[in-house]
Structure 1
């Protein structure tokens, strides 16, 4: 007659499982948990549009999920580093953003294996951004004027709409063909302190002592050679036909 001690056998199996199987199971569970946390974090950051954090996390990850490029092709158009571009504004379809591409990269989303294509952009501020903090600047800031900043962020590459041109004020005035994709820059804007950083380098004109606005009409005094707004010296451009103009200081 053959007898088996069931209790002892179960205890023995339990001991074998505890010493051999459980550590392996724990490692698998831990690996799946860690991977799940990484995947969830990337998805969550993407939904929250925290693209800078996605790049930081991807660079810290041991896996090869982050790559950089010199150029990228989106919807048939190639974008390169240092390109000045117009970027779609999801909140305002009238006035889009302007920036310069500093870096191009991709992040491989761990769970879906889809590439998130990103561009690091250095931003330019537009007139509407400035006059909120400097209302008096409305009179001399041009519609096509942009202000350089030291602020940069990552954007989705597919939000780039088209290339644009950014030149200095003098070159802008002398441009033969000027469309809505041509801008001029002469000042830098401190985003944090909400002020111009190099205003003292800009020459002031007219009686009102404001920077030159290429969109306004000016008249030059034939004696002192200074420039004045027509409105500031009580002249109407449509009615003015004199060849010479002498300002009030020289008259």
Structure 2
């Protein structure tokens, strides 16, 4: 027989079903901790507190690996469930949609805050914009693509709009870093420059 619960307390912090938790991946800290949503809490036959988790994946943990468009704090929800025990839990985390993630970081920067909410530090705030199926190694939904390279945007990097065609161009593709983009009053992409040159 097992007993189910709605929450548990660890080191003075209460964890609830539905919270996102950080779980230790290795005892020596050589591996990044796991990130997962707490689905259920049970007391098993041995009296140990068992936690059923639905894992988030970092880009490096997928078959595709980290790509140009992946943000530093980007994770993917997944269909991978597993059970861990309470001893492996380090702290809470927060996974937000991209818009809410940007809004939160702007508020934190404005108020110099390091703690987002009880048990969640700013270091453990992530964003999610896709779901990863581990059985098929596929992502959904598909991300919009931009620029002549036809790649999605990286939320950590600025893009620049062409004043001639209104297309969005990656700073990297335009040969500009974030400071260079911020310093420009107007910009014309290479494709529009070529069209103008060919027409003259």
1:69-118 Cα distance to aligned partner (Å, 9 max, x none): 01111232211000011111116725111110010011132xxxxx2101
Residue equivalent to 2:97:
168
1:159 aligns with 2:102: no
Deviations 1:32-90 (A, max 9, x none): xxxxxxxxxxxxxxxxxxxxxxxxxxxxxxxxx41000111123221100001111111
Q: Which residue of 2 aligns with 1:148?
A: 77
1:191 to 134, 140, 149: 134
CA displacement at 1:215 relative to structure 2: 1.4
Give the TM-score normalised by structure 1: 0.64
Shift of 1:187: 0.8
> Does residue 243 of structure 1 match 2:185?
yes
Q: TM-score, normalised by structure 2?
A: 0.79
Tell me, yes or no, if structure 1 residue 138 matches structure 2 residue 64: no
> 2-side partners of 1:249 and 1:174: how far apart?
34
Q: Per the alignment, do residues 170 and 226 of structure 1 end up closer, same or farther by CA in structure 2, a change over 3 Å counting? A: farther
Greater RCO between the two (CA within 8 Å, min separation 6)? 2
In structure 2, stretches of 5+ residues that fail to align are 110-121, 194-200
Residue 118 (structure 1) aligned with residue 60 (structure 2)? no
How big is each residue's C-alpha offset from its partner over 1:15-34, in whole Å with a ceiling of 9 and x where there is no partner? Answer: xxxxxxxxxxxxxxxxxxxx
Equivalent position of 1:180 in the other structure:
123
Superposition deviation, residue 239 in structure 1: 4.5
Over the residues paired in the alignment, what is the CA RMSD in angstroms? 2.1
Which has a greater percent of strand? 2
Using the alignment, how far apart are the partners of 1:120 and 1:236 within structure 2? 43
- 5+ residue gaps, structure 1: 1-64, 110-114
2:154 aligns to what?
Answer: 213
CA distance in 2, matches of 1:88, 1:219: 40
1:17-96 alignment, distance < 5 Å: 65-90=1-26, 93=29, 94-96=31-33
In terms of Rg, which structure is larger?
1
Q: Which residue is 1:224 aligned to?
A: 165
User: What is the alpha-carbon distance in structure 2 between the residues aligned to residue 92 and residue 193 of structure 1?
Assistant: 32
